[in-house]
Structure 1
Amino acid sequence: MKLNRFAAVALAACSGSALAQSSITLYGVVDANIEYVNHVGAVPTAANGFNPGPGHDVVRANSGGFSGSRWGIRGVEDLGAEMQAVFVLENGFNGDAGTVQQSGRLFGRQAFVGIKHATYGQISLGRQYTSLFDSIVNFVPTYFATQYEPITLFTGSNFREDNTLKYTLNVTNFTGVAHYSFGTGLALPQTVESGLAIGGNGEVPSQARRDSAYGASLSYTGGSLWAAIAYDQFNPSIGTTSSTSSGSFKKATAAVSYSFPWGRVMGGYRWGQNKMPSGATIGRDDFFWFGGIYQVTPAFSLMLEYDYDKVRNVFGNTSVANPWQVNLIADYNFSKRTDVYLSVAYAKHAGLGLDSALIANAVSLALGNSYARGNGNSSMMGVSIGVRHRF
């Protein structure tokens, strides 16, 4: 018995020594809300003849209003010589139904491993956010809130990409990011009669360009004035095309932010151009956003964002009405982990999240809830009340 006790103590001591050099953290968010939306039609598909039908009022329970519900594991191991091994595995789920998001991926939000050096930065491989997303998220008043933020129009549906090699370097107040995806894994079905299915798994032998993507960004976050610039390109398969005839979806953006004692104001511009393999234009637009965060009290904050998209061309149509949206979020924190929120959004000439044919109704496809406008409707309004807990 004494020998067994000694062995247990020795094992515990050895385990403590090993754990002192590394750490593993389990974390997550559970976010759920009740939502009312008007003028909601069906998501256009071949099955319904790409016809959303009449608009209806909808009251529904949702997961992920302010933040996407998730759980994850992150780890760090000290390798010595100012080097660390790092990894992140992050699952996205629907809290209202207990199902997996991101097309059924177990770790669809993030899944990567890498090496980090205190001076020379981090190299990571796996499913990761794009450089554009990383640099711009802090310049958006609602921080890309899940429910109504037009993130797909803003960054492209490929803001997370499979098979990605990424480099991140922090120097004082500057952060540089560059990435290359060998195959994004993004696939959007045809949701517009004049459109085509977009994307695929990529990584096809002898077709290196097929579904590849790359980008880079530089941001400055020192003092009151912050700024960022970024470029992103996605080369998707279109229809049944191969690498020699994949399309090109390009985006470039610039953003600024300035802090005051009561909060922060911010805004920016994103240029976008999506082309067919032939060079014909799928979409061309100029996207602008502006807003701010007002910290009313330490526990209560207001976030206001206005988005406007100057649509110049959609499948050859140069007279498309320009969509815009205004979104207000009121957030009250009961504690550091638990808060309640009210989110109100109004969109004109598009569905909420500025969902439309320009982005192949990707918002509706990703969230599993339709924000496609019913026939004869030019606007959509949504109101949601929710609770969020972080652990």
Structure 2
Amino acid sequence: MKLRSMTVAALLACSGGAFAQSSVTLYGVADVNLEYVNHVGAIPSAANQFNRGPSNDVYRMNSGGFSGSRWGIRGTEDLGNGLKAMFVLENGFNVDTGTLQQGGRMFGRQAFVGLQQAGIGQISLGRQYASMFEALANFAPAAYATQYEPTVLMTGPNFRQDNTIKYTGQFGPVTALAHYSFGVGLALPQTVGIATPIGGNGENPGQARRDSAYGAAVAYQGGGFGVTVGYDQWNPTIGTSSGTVRKAAVGASYSFGSLAKIMGGYRWGQNKNAGDVVIQRDDFYWIGANYQVTPAIGLTLEYNYDNVKSLYGDTHVANPWQIALIANYAFSKRTDLYLSTAYAKNAGLMMESLATVYANSLSLGNNYVLANGQSNMLGVSLGIRHKF
């Protein structure tokens, strides 16, 4: 339930006794599912000598399949003359265990405050989504569904960034975004093929580049047609210096009324180590569609393919691909039942591999690492989602 009853009027300390309107809204999603996955190995780490281990079938309960489970508070205050103050605090949690996500952060999904000016745009400061990630959301068929969507491979593991100043402008059908992070706050541990951990807490005295990031994107949505283009760069700590992770993407979509939408895109990627040597280069493609069979039944189909040019010196990597299908049945506007299934080749589900530094498995707590001797993985889940 949207708690719009929390709306109040606040008295401004200014001549004339003018009033400013304030509103605070509580919102959220509770999403849980039962899942089967085959050919599951172990996350490579120092504890297991970086060995992915034997194949296992896994049966488990997960939090977040169609959407990440969350609750949040957002609010605005009208300051007059088209100026508003605003904030968002959003928490990620696990329905199956009641624990926090995003490494135990209280508001790990989003936490920012800022100002909006009509006709100019919004400036916000705090933990926020990267510009390219936000712009591509309307061009990903599964809309970044927590289960099986290869979001990390598409946009990078740094899609949420600490210490970020961000501009958002809405000009009719055009949205413009740009951001800069003083310290992303993402650390990926050492794993197979990587000599040292990647990333850190950022904001290093005397080394402003380390763990900083920036990017920009522009999106157009009008008349059933949409297109976007974006760029993202992260400069993670590697040893005592920093590397360079660059991604650029373009996406397009077309809607056939309210019943169907097709979309796809291309993402260029290049990673360099602290010595400015290319350690990863790939071209990622996706295509898919949404179809509303009836007012209650919706279908989503998505295909992903990654052309790996080079990965830590290996130029003959088997290119991973994945196909996924989601069917959901809406009992109401707020509650639905869903069935998700995906098949991945030459990688685990979510196209999890060394190319993603196993970031999905590390952050979700659900292992999608492909076991030794296996080349494919199948997953099926049945879940329920309630929005409030």
Q: How far does residue 216 in structure 1 lie from its aligned partner after superposition?
A: 0.2
Of 107-116 and 259-268, the range deviating more from structure 2? 259-268
Counterpart pick for 2:337 among 337, 340, 349? 340
1:128 and 1:161 in contact (8 A); partners too: yes
Q: How far does residue 16 in structure 1 lie from its aligned partner after superposition?
A: 5.1
Q: How far does residue 298 in structure 1 lie from its aligned partner after superposition?
A: 1.1
1:310 and 1:322 in contact (8 A); partners too: yes
Q: How far does residue 277 in structure 1 lie from its aligned partner after superposition?
A: 1.1
Q: Is 1:307 aligned to 2:315, yes or no?
A: no
Q: How far does residue 197 in structure 1 lie from its aligned partner after superposition?
A: 0.7
Q: 2:142 and 2:280 mapped to 1: Cα distance?
A: 26
1:122 and 1:167 in contact (8 A); partners too: yes
RMSD (CA atoms): 1.1
Q: Deviations over 1:332-359 (max 9, x none)?
A: 1100100000000000000000000011
Q: Which structure is larger by alpha-carbon Rg, 1 or 2?
A: 1
Quote the residue 1:3 is aligned against.
none
1:24 and 1:76 in contact (8 A); partners too: yes
1:132 and 1:217 in contact (8 A); partners too: yes
Pairwise mapping of residues 234-245 of structure 1 onto structure 2 (< 5 A)? Answer: 234-238=234-238, 240-242=239-241
Aligned length in residues: 373
Quote the residue 1:85 is aligned against.
85
TM-score normalised according to structure 2 size: 0.95
Counterpart pick for 2:252 among 240, 252, 256? 256
Pairwise mapping of residues 245-284 of structure 1 onto structure 2 (< 5 A)? Answer: 246-261=242-257, 262-284=259-281
Q: How far does residue 176 in structure 1 lie from its aligned partner after superposition?
A: 0.3
Q: Deviations over 1:51-97 (max 9, x none)?
A: 01111000000000010000000010000010100000000001100
Quote the residue 1:294 is aligned against.
291
TM-score normalised according to structure 1 size: 0.94
Quote the residue 1:356 is aligned against.
353
Quote the residue 1:154 is aligned against.
154
Q: Secondary structure at the match of 1:221?
A: strand
Counterpart pick for 1:322 among 312, 319, 322? 319
Q: 1:196 and 1:388 mapped to 2: Cα distance?
A: 39
Q: 1:236 and 1:366 mapped to 2: Cα distance?
A: 17
- The amino acid that maps onto 2:254 is Y
Change (3 A) 1:16 1:123: closer
Q: How far does residue 196 in structure 1 lie from its aligned partner after superposition?
A: 2.7
Q: Indicate the structure with greater helix content.
A: 1
- The amino acid that maps onto 1:359 is T
Change (3 A) 1:254 1:193: closer
- The amino acid that maps onto 1:98 is G
Quote the residue 1:139 is aligned against.
139
Quote the residue 1:216 is aligned against.
216
- The amino acid that maps onto 2:273 is M
Q: How far does residue 193 in structure 1 lie from its aligned partner after superposition?
A: 4.2
> Which of structure 1's runs of 4+ aligned residues deviate more than 6 A?
none
1:195 and 1:315 in contact (8 A); partners too: no
- The amino acid that maps onto 2:164 is T
Quote the residue 1:11 is aligned against.
none
Q: Deviations over 1:220-258 (max 9, x none)?
A: 0111110000000000001x223xxx1000000000000
Q: Deviations over 1:182-224 (max 9, x none)?
A: 0000000012144431000110111100100000000001111
Q: Is 1:227 aligned to 2:223, yes or no?
A: no
2:9 and 2:22 in contact (8 A); partners too: no
Pairwise mapping of residues 184-203 of structure 1 onto structure 2 (< 5 A)? Answer: 184-203=184-203
Q: Secondary structure at the match of 1:100?
A: coil
Change (3 A) 1:16 1:251: closer
Quote the residue 2:15 is aligned against.
none
Quote the residue 1:9 is aligned against.
none
- The amino acid that maps onto 1:241 is T
1:276 and 1:282 in contact (8 A); partners too: yes
Quote the residue 1:107 is aligned against.
107
Quote the residue 2:37 is aligned against.
37
Change (3 A) 1:198 1:82: same
Q: 2:210 and 2:320 mapped to 1: Cα distance?
A: 31
Quote the residue 1:22 is aligned against.
22
1:303 and 1:329 in contact (8 A); partners too: yes
Change (3 A) 1:205 1:288: same
Q: 2:35 and 2:272 mapped to 1: Cα distance?
A: 36
Change (3 A) 1:193 1:285: closer
Q: 1:255 and 1:195 mapped to 2: Cα distance?
A: 34
Q: 1:325 and 1:231 mapped to 2: Cα distance?
A: 24
Q: 2:103 and 2:201 mapped to 1: Cα distance?
A: 13
- The amino acid that maps onto 1:192 is V
Q: 2:261 and 2:167 mapped to 1: Cα distance?
A: 29
